[in-house]
Amino acid sequence: MTFWPALTLGVIVALITLGAVAISTALEDVKNRANEPTDKPLVMHMHVALRIVINDEFVIIAGNVGIDPALYKTHALDRYGIKNPKTYPLHTHDTSGVIHIESTELRTFTLGQFFDVWGQTFNEKCIMDKCNDSLNKVTMFIDGVQSSEFGEHVFRDNETITIIYGQARGQHPL
């Protein structure tokens, strides 16, 4: 006689679980739709130059970051981007190191957010696969002036950002 109540309880638990899954899936759909690019016109269009030098060698900044699905590693800011073709508000078109900041809303964007969509590491300890050790350090310069903002740096139009990894020289080496 204990079998049926146990089965009923099991069915109730299963139904509640299914209901919770259905609700969370629906909420996820709403969230994803709210994060899709819109037809709004661009209200921001800035360019910054990014240079990365690792052990005295320039690193190629990939083209089509934020456009090529293989170089589109987060969708966190999709709602500020371009609908067709789907383009992240932070993107590159070529390997010149020019980052395009094109947004349908006026807001701040950070250097860290560009590295996020590129799928590369950048912080005060590491640039890409290179991390600080006893000899080598990550340093960064904004228009030639050393900065400690790293990924928190907010993009400003027409600036040049230089990230250097290697033996500390105590000066801008470029």
Nearer to Zn ion (CB atom), residue 91 or residue 153: 91
Nearer to Zn ion (CB atom), residue 100 or residue 137: 100
Nearer to Zn ion (CB atom), residue 46 or residue 128: 46
Nearer to Zn ion (CB atom), residue 100 or residue 153: 100
Compute the least distance from the CB of residue 85 to Zn ion, in Å: 14
User: What is the total count of residues that contact Zn ion (CB under 5 A)?
Assistant: 1
Q: Is 91 in the site for Zn ion (CB under 5 A)?
A: no
Give the long-range contacts of residues 155-160, CB within 8 A, separation 24 or more: 155/46, 155/48, 155/99, 155/101, 155/108, 155/109, 155/110, 155/111, 155/114, 156/46, 156/48, 157/46, 157/47, 157/48, 158/46, 158/47, 158/48, 159/48, 159/49, 160/48, 160/49, 160/50, 160/51
Span near Zn ion by CB under 5 A; candidates 69-77, 93-101, 136-144, 159-167? 93-101
Residue in 61, 88, 100, 139 binding Zn ion, rule: CB under 5 A: 100
Evaluate the omega torsion of the peptide bond into residue 41 and state whether it is cis, within 30 degrees of 0: no
- Show contacts with Zn ion in window 102-141 (CB under 5 A): none
Dihedral of CA atoms 157, 160, 81, 64 in degrees, nearest 10, equals 150
When CB distances to Zn ion are compared, the closest residue is 100
In the complex, the residues that contact Zn ion under the rule CB under 5 A are 100
